[in-house]
Structure 1
Amino acid sequence: MRDADLLAQRFEEHRPHLRAVAHRMLGSDAEAEDAVQDTWLRLTRAETDGIDNLPGWLTTTVGRVCLDRLRSRTVRAEQPWDDGEPATGPTDGEPADPEREAVRTESVGRALLVVLDTLAPTERFVFVLHDMFAVSFDEIASVVDRSPAAVRQIASRARRRVQAGGQVRETDPTRQRQVVEAFLAASREGRFDDLVTLLDPHVVLRADPVAVGMGSAPQTRGAAAVAAFFNGRAQAAVPAYVDAAPGALVVVGGRTRIVLTFIVTDRIIGIEAVADPEHIASLDFVTDDLARR
């Protein structure tokens, strides 16, 4: 198979995922398809030998395309919403695979898309890529030309606005909290199979340098690997909301040593472990007793 044919084949494998990202950014199937096609054109012009993580490159690139389109909109009323649900699942005749099934189960309803339309373009970009697709703040920061800390604040602000705009299933804090609490309980009790069930097959665990020094890998991918890392742990973890996102505090000797944040759709798709004391001090979290640090 020629290199060009192989590249096209790999792109088609990721098309449903890219279409889902674009639809959440733009709110229109037609615009989403155009953005995906634009992403393909950018891929054909790129130096592909330098792309180490093709799925990540494609996700951030389609996000960048959509961000440019959002910024170019001058009159939002001219951008009609599609009726019904976005076409993110496989079409008739397409074979089902885990990635496409995951995209289908994460389908976003029209109500959430309307809420997302109230966000500024950068807020929407950050919220969609991080909270819905677990793209790291570092990767997003390079696209919007902000620091990771600034991007985190943008995500927190967008998250609060989405939650205030309407409690829809995909972003329901109660549902997210239940999933996190179930995960922490399974972790403490060493229930490996339950951990795997609560994790998305493509879940990503990211750890900051201080957490890496405590024994974590900088990045761990896949439900089995992440479940193995947490299996039997979380003994000192206390559920909390961290910058308005579901999370947990690992408290040792009365001091918060690690802060965990979770990105949850139907299952957990992303976990971030923060152990840097200065970073922890900058976070806003609320525990069960509602006592703000």
Structure 2
Amino acid sequence: MTGSPLADAALFGILGLLVGSFLNVVIHRLPKMMERQWAAECAQYGQDAGLLPEASGAAQPPSAEAFNLWTPRSRCPSCGHGVRWHENIPVLSWLALRGRCSACKARIGLRYPLVELATGALFYFCAQRWGMSAETLLWSGFCAALLSLALIDWDTTLLPDDITLPLLWAGLLGSLLGWTAVPLADAVLGAAAGYLSLWSVYWAFRLATGKEGMGYGDFKLFAALGAWFGWQALVPIILLASVIGAVVGIAMKLSSSLREGKYVPFGPFLAGGGLAALLWGPQRIMQAVLSVFGLA
């Protein structure tokens, strides 16, 4: 702490830049870690069921390189160049390298510094609002989780339990400890209503069409948002997510940029609704959505 609220918020914003750099690793590696785990479980199931031969002796393949959020060190996907510490400074390294690998000059996506900047800005906002407090740490974690979930879902249509479930429990515990200004009863009802509402929509759509309109990760994410903001915020958040999701989906369809399967993941828009609820509040979101339809 520096004694100055503005300076404290700036320091927290710098922390956010560093966390944003780590979020880029999470967004890239966590889905791959999940896929490796699923492959290992399928192989083990096949061996247990007698569908696959068990590897033994000389026929056993060499152990794969450790792969998690910490190992191996970051490297260029094009040439394998290991990223040195001075090439991994948030935003500044990307600018100094002009968005290219120092070894092979392959392009480094603009999304990397944008994630770092967004995380830094959100951390700064939380510190400005709550000061150097437990609430700031809690809500900064909320922002980091939603950014990660939004981009992972956009890339892979996965919403990992490793993030959604801790996010849900953190919202309930934050309410219990008085760090979210949401009474515990409202948080519990919000979590239950968030999950059951999308679960009901999922099954209604599936029974009517025989297709799956969303995944179970969406239920868990909406439940988490209900825990953080209370059941009263669920309608504004889902309305905003639906309107923006519909606009983006229509735009992508008209531009022929829909991915294979003609779907748009809903998680990024739910996450965006959650961040909007943090920044502007559920009531202002509701007014904005209603004004779009001329009802405000």
Give the TM bin, normalised by the shorter chain. under 0.3
Q: Which has the higher strand share?
A: 1
TM normalised by structure 2 equals 0.27
Q: Which of the two has higher C-alpha Rg?
A: 2
Write 1 or 2 for the structure with the bigger share of helix: 2
Give the TM-score of the pair, scaled to structure 1. 0.28
